Amino acid sequence: MEILTAVTALSALAQEHRLEIFRLLVREGVHGTPAGHIGEKLGIPLSTLSFHLSQLKNAGLINCRRESRTLFYSANYLSMNELMAYLTENCCEGNPDSCEIPVGCVPEKEK
């Protein structure tokens, strides 16, 4: 992944609603979910939602497909994994497999 691509993706995720949308789409799986469902679930008006979905799509973080008159959005897992790989590339001197999260950094519900 190029640095410009990573910066674009991180910039898109740096907004609260877009991060919520992306997290929801990751949980929804590869089949995705209709735009209306995203708006209802997160309480985001459709006009605002459309803008945020466009930003995430332009950053390559989500995919969109049309079924009849309905737009379905899904997370772009390949792009997500490339971003994660880019972010951990230099972890533990280039050996991310040996990286361990310190116990104090793990939220209680994950322990």
Beta-ladder partners of 33: 73
The domain that holds 13 is classified in CATH as 1.10.10.10
**Which residues in the chain belong to E strands, given as ranges?**
33-34, 62-67, 70-75
Read off the pLDDT band of 103 (50, 70, 90).
low
User: pLDDT tens digits, residue range 51-96?
Assistant: 999 999 999 999 999 999 999 999 999 999 999 988 887 777 666 6
Model confidence at 2, pLDDT cuts 50, 70, 90, reads confident
Contact by Cβ (8 Å): 82, 43: no
Residue 32 CB coordination number (10 Å) = 20
13 pLDDT above the threshold of 60: yes
Q: How confident is the model at residue 22 (pLDDT cuts 50, 70, 90)?
A: very high
Contact 9, 60 (CB under 8 A): yes
26: helix, coil or strand? helix
Domain count, the chain: 1
Range of the domain at 65: 3-88
pLDDT at residue 29 is higher than 70? yes
Residue 110 lies in a domain: no
| 12 falls within a domain | yes
Under DSSP, is residue 37 helix (H, G, I), strand (E, B) or coil?
A: helix
Considering the chain, what percentage of its residues have pLDDT values greater than 70? 81
Within-domain flag for 97: no
Q: Is residue 111 part of a domain?
A: no
